[in-house]
Amino acid sequence: MKKWIVQFLGSGDAFGSGGRFQTCIYVQSETARFLIDCGASSLIAMKRFGVDPNLIESILLTHLHGDHFGGIPFLIRETQILSRRTAPLVIAGPPGLERRIRDTMENLFPGSPGQEQAFPLRFIELSHERPSQIGPLAVHSYKAIHTPGTHPHSLRVEWDGKVLAYTGDTEWTEDLVRAAEGADLLVCESFTFEKKKNHLDYQNLLARRVDLRCSRLILTHMSDDMLSRLPDIGIEWAEDGKRISLPDPGSRKGG
């Protein structure tokens, strides 16, 4: 059986709670290397944990908030100036992602969107109606409940006979059950301990855990309030730099 490695380059929220980097999950196997989300601090996190940005083949985005996509302009800018990337890069996500990313690049680095680059850059808008094939990855997206202008969705990625799902930022929705069904790993945001608009909370997750029929569940994107409660949490959690191999017997606690 082929093994894949998931590394949390960033497990934090938008505000750097606990000194954590913003959301960025690196996945690598024999057949694929990709990111799920790429928050503003992601290039720094890659350098911290020894991940070469040039090896990233695709970036899958859950929504267009800066702590989930804001690192892309920095990654692309580095490839234009320093690393001289030549391999293609695919960025897939919600409707309007290409314009939002190019506008952000122009605001941060004026003139950079029109600068010649040595590698093909392709944008794909994911559909809720059917999976998108991105190299060996079959990527499914499901409607999420978050800030409407960010066009949020949850993701389910299938390849090499395995399944990785990620909630993105969302309130509880029955679509999470569909995304998690049979997944080898479900990465689940838990921004707060008690219910809060636009986000999942730990108490609700605990009550609905039986509905999320996945082999392993890991919490991420936690606020200071959630981080202060970790000693009493009964679900495994992520930390910056944490690596897991799947299949893997796992553990109940973070670290």
- Could you give the number of structural domains in the chain? 1
The confidence score (pLDDT) of residue 84 equals: 79
- 36 domain-assigned: yes
The confidence score (pLDDT) of residue 248 equals: 58
- 205 domain-assigned: yes
The confidence score (pLDDT) of residue 168 equals: 97
- 25 domain-assigned: yes
Low-confidence stretches of the chain (pLDDT beneath 70): 1-2, 248-255
Range of the domain at 140: 4-246
- 255 domain-assigned: no
- 251 domain-assigned: no
Task: Write the burial class of residue 194 (CB in 10 Å: 0-12 exposed, 13-18 middle, 19+ buried).
Answer: exposed
- 29 domain-assigned: yes
The confidence score (pLDDT) of residue 251 equals: 47
- 144 domain-assigned: yes
CB neighbours (10 Å) of residue 100? 19
Beta-ladder partners of 28:
5, 33
Phi, psi torsion values for 234, nearest 5 degrees = -100, 10
Q: What is the CATH number of the domain that holds 208?
A: 3.60.15.10
pLDDT tens readout for residues 143-198: 999 999 999 999 999 998 999 999 999 999 999 999 999 999 999 999 999 988 89
pTM for this model (two decimals): 0.95
- 123 domain-assigned: yes
**Cα–Cα separations (whole angstroms), residue 64 to 41, 59, 72, 99, 152:** 15, 13, 11, 11, 7
The confidence score (pLDDT) of residue 254 equals: 52
